[in-house]
Amino acid sequence: MLGAMLAEAWSALVANRLRSILTMLGMIIGVAAVILMLAIGSGVQVYIERQISSLGSNLLIISSGAARTGGGFAQGIGTAPTLTLDDADAIARLPTVVAAAPQSGFGAQVTAGPTNWLTQVSTSTPSWFQVQDWYPDEGRAFTEMENRQAARVAVIGRTVADELFGANDPLGQQIRVRGVTFTVIGVLPKRGQGIGGSNRDDTIVLPLNSAQRLVQGGGVFRRSVRTISVSVATPAAMVPTEEAISLLLRRRHQLAPTAPDDFSITNITAVGDTFAETTGAISLLLGAIGGISLVVGGIGIMNIMLVSVTERTREIGIRMAIGASRGAIRLQFLLEALMLSLAGCLIGVMLGTGIAVIAGKFLPFETVITPASVIISFAISAAIGIFFGWWPANRAAKLSPIEALRS
């Protein structure tokens, strides 16, 4: 009986083709909106997660200067170089610390032959590659020995390599940073955009010692560094390590118990979590807006089903006279409402997916269609079809056969 009723529901919808399509439009737009919003939402989430993890996992960044001061002029992070190379060495000896990379940096015009390029120069120890989890895929990283000897070697990012050398092999080439010549020994693989849209591949990494000794302005304060990046062994050790580093640095900097920290520690994973939470909330909000259009679509279905029941009162009477029970009549109209909502959902999923794929080509990140969003769309559409179809179907089922036949 169900198969016959499905076929009948289908033929009833096909008989009123234009009306069925217009009714489905509400569902189509609603589902497409939900699919699109969730695709953008999860796309942003994946994008940010990738950005966070590209910074290195289990990463603590210690900056010179307190994040907040008691009053008067606020000290920005990194303005007072209170951290030293010795601090970095001491931190590296903590049991839960895998590596600690002291790091400074400056912007500089870099030249290679006739071409030049303005880029960001980072100066650090070989631990930098380990902490960033970012090793050259062409050539090699510089060694501790090269750092100690202030060797004139440089590792460059993909963007710098492309801008300065184009299609040529950058390895072994000479670049000049503030008048000092360095030999390119490695090129870092592409990492794309960082948080805030900066191009992470637009960078040069020099040995800390080399920069401090050779480059003018490369190390105004000898043995001082702007930041120390710390890689922690496990995620669980992040908070204890943060506390241990704080205690260690306060002792080393001989701060009185009441004095504020002269450094600040940023937990990148925690920052990432906050980002993920925020984007999760945003995509939920966007999905909810799509959900509202679904409800509006559902009301459209209810409206048209009520019209349909009124129009087909005589048909209902005939069916009852030849033996359709009230349950069968109710089922027939419910199936029609359900078919409308599910067909609308199917078209909406296809439309939403199509738009999401096209949108992904224009947005800075890829949109992600999750199976869950499709399943949720179908579940919600089915629920809407049943919920908004119930009342009209019940109205049809409750008709008196005599009255219905007389209409």
Binding mask 327-366 for other proteins (x = CB under 8 A): xx--------------------------------------
* 324 contributes a contact to other proteins by CB under 8 A: yes
Which member of 236, 270, 285, 402 binds other proteins (CB under 8 A)? Answer: 402
Which member of 152, 191, 319, 330 binds other proteins (CB under 8 A)? Answer: 319
Rounded CA-CA distance 299/312 in Å is: 20
* 6 contributes a contact to other proteins by CB under 8 A: no
Rounded CA-CA distance 164/159 in Å is: 9
Quick check: helix, strand or coil at residue 105? strand
Stretch that binds other proteins, among 119-127, 246-254, 323-331, 353-361 (CB under 8 A): 323-331
Quick check: helix, strand or coil at residue 120? strand
**Token code pair at residue 196:** 């805030």
Task: Specify the residue, 81 or 401, whose C-beta has the smaller distance to other proteins.
Answer: 401
Task: State in angstroms the smallest separation of the CB of 321 from other proteins.
Answer: 5
Which member of 1, 167, 247, 256 binds other proteins (CB under 8 A)? Answer: 1
Quick check: helix, strand or coil at residue 231? strand
* 326 contributes a contact to other proteins by CB under 8 A: yes
Task: Specify the residue, 49 or 315, whose C-beta has the smaller distance to other proteins.
Answer: 315
Nearest to 232 by CA among 35, 29, 56: 56
* 5 contributes a contact to other proteins by CB under 8 A: yes
Nearest to 65 by CA among 265, 270, 267: 265
Task: State in angstroms the smallest separation of the CB of 2 from other proteins.
Answer: 10
**Token code pair at residue 59:** 């990463």
Stretch that binds other proteins, among 7-15, 81-89, 162-170, 210-218 (CB under 8 A): 7-15
* 386 contributes a contact to other proteins by CB under 8 A: no
- Which residue do the tokens 């960082």 mark? 194
Task: Specify the residue, 24 or 404, whose C-beta has the smaller distance to other proteins.
Answer: 404
- Which residues lie closer than 8 Å to 96 by C-beta, 6 or more apart? 232, 233, 234, 237, 240, 241, 244
In terms of C-beta density within 10 A (0-12 exposed, 13-18 middle, 19 or more buried), how is residue 47 classed? Answer: buried
Task: State in angstroms the smallest separation of the CB of 19 from other proteins.
Answer: 14
Task: State in angstroms the smallest separation of the CB of 386 from other proteins.
Answer: 22
For residue 82, which phi and psi values (nearest 5 degrees)?
-90, -15
Stretch that binds other proteins, among 5-13, 189-197, 198-206, 253-261 (CB under 8 A): 5-13
**Among the residues of 312-400, which ranges form H helices?**
313-321, 326-362, 371-397
Query: What does the DSSP assignment read for 159-175?
Result: HHHHHHHTTS--TT-EE
Chain-centroid distance, C-alpha 122: 26
Stretch that binds other proteins, among 41-49, 56-64, 198-206, 315-323 (CB under 8 A): 315-323
**Site for other proteins, rule CB under 8 A:** 1, 3-5, 8, 11-12, 15, 314-315, 317-328, 401-402, 405
